[in-house]
Structure 1
Amino acid sequence: MSKPVLLTVDDDPGVSRAVARDLRRRYAETYRVVRAESGPQALDSLRELRLRGDDTALLLADHRMPEMTGVEFLEQAMDLFPYARRVLLTAYADTDAAIRAINVVDLDHYLLKPWNPPDEKFYPVIDSQLEAWRRTERTTPGELRVVGHRWSNRSYQVRDFLARNQVPYTWLLDTSPEAAELLKAAGDPELPLVVTADGTTLSAPTDAELAAAVGLSTSPEADFYDLVVVGGGPAGLGAAVYGASEGLRTVLIERHASGGQAGQSSRIENYLGFPDGVSGAQLADRARRQAERFGAELITTGKVTGLETRGQARVVRQADGSEIAAHAVILATGVSYRRLDAAGLDDLVGVGVYYGAAMAETPGCTDEEVYVVGGANSAGQAAVNLSRVAKRVHILVRAGGLEKSMSHYLIQQIAGIPNIEVHTRTVVVSGEGTDHLERLTLSGPEGERTVDAHWLFVFIGAEPRTEWLDGMIERDARGYVLTGPDLVADGRRPADWPVTRQPYHLETSVPGIFAAGDVRADSMKRVASAVGDGAMAVALVHRYLEQS
């Protein structure tokens, strides 16, 4: 096998030679350095490398080039070598362009000119990028095919699970010729049918069976950890990143997919550091990879059903009867969308009625009339995303407007999209349909009316679903977990508090068990604050461990 390639492209011959010189000085024994002086020339080199079967580990491109900018080059180069690390070389005046490139081409790093001395400003960056490349699984995933009924709740759940876990798949209706062949070969299985790249068939698989088939981890490697994080939303991922990076042996247990509700968002535009916005799936995927790079274990399809203390250990019980013990636990289970109290809708969930963004269903909304219930940011983001494919998107809001519940930037964005219509003081009364949603009855300022509708997406607030903590952790009347100051009345410790100190800020009514993110009482329901909670909880875990 030939050496992996480090490719550098810069239209300034002097700079191009200097970059190549510094790369060869340190990496020539392990890598082959290829330099080009324009984007098109570099793309030709990459195509030749691909034809020969050579691998490329790093793409380092100058931003300001006359024929093709560095960002434009990296965007096309991604199609040829998707796993190569992407670094942009830029002047200080162009840092804004470099930051925008983080979203456009999933940029891994940007370097400022000049990079001297290279031992301080150049080599540490390249070392970390090459280490990340070596750790990346670079085998191309085979095609996964899912066969199911168009209006099947379980078929939707399987596709949603795959989509949210970043697993590519092909969806085949059971009436298609290709699906008929697969069903015949599988012996008339129960739908949905999942066929893996090696031909293995899974008939109506559970989430755990599906996760195992696509290579997701479903069981922990050990019985005892420093830290167990329950929930894989922004707070849980933040806790996993900070816990693992600070030397705690950390395991994160997620029931469905990394990212939580935020992971379903089509575009988060007010998260720090992403001026052009970032999709929830992209943010969750980056956080997951970051946590794994630091050594955190991520367990998918784990359903936690109980907590208990055994001496200094905190034990997490799962639905399958297994247990995981740790010195400390962070609860980051987030919240779930409340069900809409309207006649007939419960029977249509997954077959036209969806709680959350249901990204797997977006293509099916092409040229359709789509209804979105809710007036907060999640509803607005979903409406903007759906407006790209739908004939018209109707936002149904119980209140008299969006101003009290939705961010100003999103309200302005919606106002500028011609195929989004906001209906204020309007609620869903009922839904009807045989095997899927066909009609909705709405009540508004002009009375009741019935409309033809096949798609209803609901975002009407949330509830914490913390019933499994009954008898163990103190919660408020709505089920949110009480922590820190909320546990202290008139400066006194909780009645059953077993230690002499006061509870730490994010600590629950049981020492060593913390809460972070939306599940915590009176938390700020924003992605940034959830990530901050996760980081703060880890700092408090360290303090707890030092004093235990």
Structure 2
Amino acid sequence: MSNPAILTVDDDPSVSRSVARDVRRRYGDRYRVVRADSGQAALEALREIKLRGEQVAVMLADYRMPQMNGIQFLEAAMDIFPRARRVLLTAYADTDAAIDAINIVDLDHYLLKPWNPPEEKLYPVVDELLDAWLAAPDETITETRVVGHRWSAPSFAVRDFLARNLVPYRWLPADEAEGCRLLSAAALTHDDVPLVVTPDGTSLVKPTEADLAAHVGLTTTPTEDFYDLVVVGAGPAGLGAAVYGASEGLRTVLLEQRATGGQAGQSSRIENYLGFPDGVSGAQLTDRARRQAQRFGAEILTTREVVGLESGGSARLLRFGDGSVIAAHTVVLATGVSYRLLDAPGLAELTGRGVFYGSASTEAPSCSGQEIYIVGGANSAGQAAVHFSRYAKRVHMLIRGGDLRRSMSQYLIGQIEDIDNIEVHPHSQVIGGEGAEHLERLTVCDPRSGQARTVDTSWLFVFIGAEPRTDWLGKAVVRDDRGFVVTGTDLLADGRRPPGWTLPRDPYHLETSMPGVFAAGDVRADSVKRVASAVGEGAMAVSLIHRYLETP
């Protein structure tokens, strides 16, 4: 990170060089001296410094400049760096204007030109101003910044993407001071959000996830055209396959469309995973697994949408949405499942603006002191309820059944029963939502009696159903009537091998109807929907891959 800046601006080249030289001579070892020859050029320099998250300590501006005089410049500069100390350089004839500027731009000092000797007339003034600035400097920012509107679905999508990919960022509402200053520095308006500013000062306006990934340090492009193993999906099963594949010497690449971790990565607390007696968050578990896979040499590519799978002789070909292709000896399908959309009037329009699918942990602090509603009765919903109870005034769990025992682990049921501000509403389902800029009301119905009630809330989190992410497979592999991938002996209908099977042996346990393509985790038909079993299947798939590769 660069030293704080001292900015000098004067349209007279000789004076500009003189003031910059004198300032650099005294302060160059601690401050970066930035010189501009016009007010407009100085503002552009300030905007660049602002976008990089750096600091400006003092600004010295000449009063008499064409197009934009010193007072006009300092007035505009205040909007970018309000804490920077401001000095106006004037001739004797302009002292009245300098005095007026004290009120207009909260001027800290004015200096008469020439200021020789600087040891008597310049440095004591700047010393005092630097001491004052150091007592309350602007904050140096090293993380990515996101400027957006509170109830904006695109703004939420950017924050959620960064959070799930474990990219540190700072959220700045567009209607608050610092957000406005960043928009101004990027020459944007409140309509140009979300704005993402990376640590190097790059501005991304309404970025796609692919653009975002490319600028925040996530890898999006494979280094090779051919691999031993391609893993599609970076949830627990995919991460398990990547760790074991790479650790056993297979050239391995892991493809993820959105963020590593899958649904498990969104979990606020996993307490029944082996080896973590105090529990572990999904983000922590994901981060450790991701780093472990990379340490063994696996490549992890983000924002890569796979749209097709086909056989190419002994190779398996995966086609991306941009038309490019990657090939491998073997493939592990670990795309997991997604939450089913809640089909009720008004909710689709409010998605990302009060209606969220999954835990959306980025929203938890914003729920402080409010009433929130969670739809779902499985472990993911229970973990979210426990997490949000630390922030919300009350957490309402809406479940269709009579109680939680049928679908939730006993340890979670016990926790929920012990938390005073969690209330479970049995025989309840959401049948509608309303709101202007964001969710404001829900209509909840008892399906037995048909009796409905309206509740006021700005927060609905949905955890229902499990839909496999397999539409892109088409007829490449056999799937059941719900879309889950069929594997192993389940493919042997009436003892016959699946259509198109070309090998003299039966499919291995996790192998699909395309030889060399395996499925692991929640995407597989009749799998156990637990993190530990998904990781185990990912590891088992690699063991079966070795058998496949070693068999003539």
- Unaligned 5+ segments in structure 2 are 1-139
In structure 1, what is the equivalent of residue 376 of structure 2?
374
In structure 2, what is the equivalent of residue 108 of structure 1?
none
Q: Name the CA distance, whole Å, in 2 between partners of 1:324 and 1:427.
A: 44
How far did residue 491 of structure 1 move?
Answer: 2.5
How far did residue 414 of structure 1 move?
Answer: 0.1
Q: Which amino acid aligns with 1:186?
A: A
Counterparts of 1:165-184 in structure 2, within 5 Å, are 165-184=165-184
Q: Which amino acid aligns with 1:534?
A: G
Counterparts of 1:119-138 in structure 2, within 5 Å, are none
CA RMSD, Structure 1 to Structure 2 (Å): 1.2
Is residue 490 of structure 2 the alignment partner of residue 489 of structure 1? no
Is residue 143 of structure 2 the alignment partner of residue 148 of structure 1? no
Structure showing greater radius of gyration is: 2
Q: Name the CA distance, whole Å, in 2 between partners of 1:491 and 1:363.
A: 56
Range 462-471 or range 472-481, more displaced: 462-471
Counterparts of 1:438-453 in structure 2, within 5 Å, are 438-444=440-446, 447-453=451-457
Counterparts of 1:75-224 in structure 2, within 5 Å, are 142-188=142-188, 190-224=192-226
Q: Which amino acid aligns with 1:374?
A: G
Runs of 4+ in 1 over 3 A off after TM superposition: none
In structure 1, what is the equivalent of residue 409 of structure 2?
407
In structure 2, what is the equivalent of residue 265 of structure 1?
267
Q: Name the CA distance, whole Å, in 1 between partners of 2:468 and 2:200.
A: 40
How far did residue 363 of structure 1 move?
Answer: 1.0
Q: Name the CA distance, whole Å, in 2 between partners of 1:147 and 1:521.
A: 42
Report the TM-score when normalising by structure 2.
0.73
- Unaligned 5+ segments in structure 1 are 1-139
In structure 2, what is the equivalent of residue 322 of structure 1?
324
Q: Which amino acid aligns with 1:437?
A: L
Q: Name the CA distance, whole Å, in 1 between partners of 2:323 and 2:185.
A: 36
Q: Name the CA distance, whole Å, in 2 between partners of 1:250 and 1:321.
A: 21
Q: Name the CA distance, whole Å, in 2 between partners of 1:523 and 1:489.
A: 19
In structure 1, what is the equivalent of residue 460 of structure 2?
456
Taking only the aligned residue pairs, the percentage that are identical comes to: 68
**1:261 match: secondary structure:** helix
Is residue 517 of structure 2 the alignment partner of residue 513 of structure 1? yes
**1:225 match: secondary structure:** strand
In structure 2, what is the equivalent of residue 504 of structure 1?
508
**2:317 match: secondary structure:** strand
Q: Name the CA distance, whole Å, in 1 between partners of 2:252 and 2:500.
A: 28
In structure 2, what is the equivalent of residue 538 of structure 1?
542
In structure 1, what is the equivalent of residue 96 of structure 2?
none
Q: Name the CA distance, whole Å, in 2 between partners of 1:240 and 1:142.
A: 31
Q: Name the CA distance, whole Å, in 1 between partners of 2:517 and 2:223.
A: 22
Q: 1:388 aligns with which of 387, 390, 401?
A: 390
Q: Deviations over 1:142-200 (max 9, x none)?
A: 22110001111010010001111111111011001111111112121521001111211
Counterparts of 1:246-257 in structure 2, within 5 Å, are 246-257=248-259
In structure 1, what is the equivalent of residue 116 of structure 2?
none
How far did residue 496 of structure 1 move?
Answer: 2.0
How far did residue 461 of structure 1 move?
Answer: 1.4
How far did residue 224 of structure 1 move?
Answer: 0.3
How far did residue 430 of structure 1 move?
Answer: 0.2
Q: Which amino acid aligns with 1:342?
A: A
How far did residue 490 of structure 1 move?
Answer: 2.8
How far did residue 361 of structure 1 move?
Answer: 0.9
Q: Name the CA distance, whole Å, in 1 between partners of 2:297 and 2:202.
A: 31
How far did residue 465 of structure 1 move?
Answer: 2.6
Report the TM-score when normalising by structure 1.
0.74
Counterparts of 1:9-28 in structure 2, within 5 Å, are none
Q: Name the CA distance, whole Å, in 1 between partners of 2:148 and 2:263.
A: 25
How far did residue 356 of structure 1 move?
Answer: 0.3
Q: Deviations over 1:83-104 (max 9, x none)?
A: xxxxxxxxxxxxxxxxxxxxxx
Q: Deviations over 1:191-240 (max 9, x none)?
A: 10011112111101111111111111011110000000000000000000
Q: Name the CA distance, whole Å, in 2 between partners of 1:462 and 1:349.
A: 18
Counterparts of 1:457-476 in structure 2, within 5 Å, are 457-476=461-480
Change in 2 beyond 3 A, CA 1:141/1:541: farther
**2:262 match: secondary structure:** coil
In structure 1, what is the equivalent of residue 304 of structure 2?
302
In structure 1, what is the equivalent of residue 339 of structure 2?
337
Q: Deviations over 1:485-504 (max 9, x none)?
A: 11012332223211110000
In structure 2, what is the equivalent of residue 353 of structure 1?
355
Q: Name the CA distance, whole Å, in 2 between partners of 1:350 and 1:495.
A: 43
In structure 2, what is the equivalent of residue 279 of structure 1?
281
Q: Name the CA distance, whole Å, in 2 between partners of 1:496 and 1:255.
A: 29
Q: Name the CA distance, whole Å, in 2 between partners of 1:481 and 1:366.
A: 41
Change in 2 beyond 3 A, CA 1:539/1:212: same
How far did residue 141 of structure 1 move?
Answer: 9.1
**2:444 match: secondary structure:** strand
Q: Name the CA distance, whole Å, in 2 between partners of 1:176 and 1:197.
A: 20
Q: Which amino acid aligns with 2:472?
A: W
Number of residue pairs matched by the alignment: 409
Q: Name the CA distance, whole Å, in 2 between partners of 1:141 and 1:244.
A: 36
How far did residue 242 of structure 1 move?
Answer: 0.2
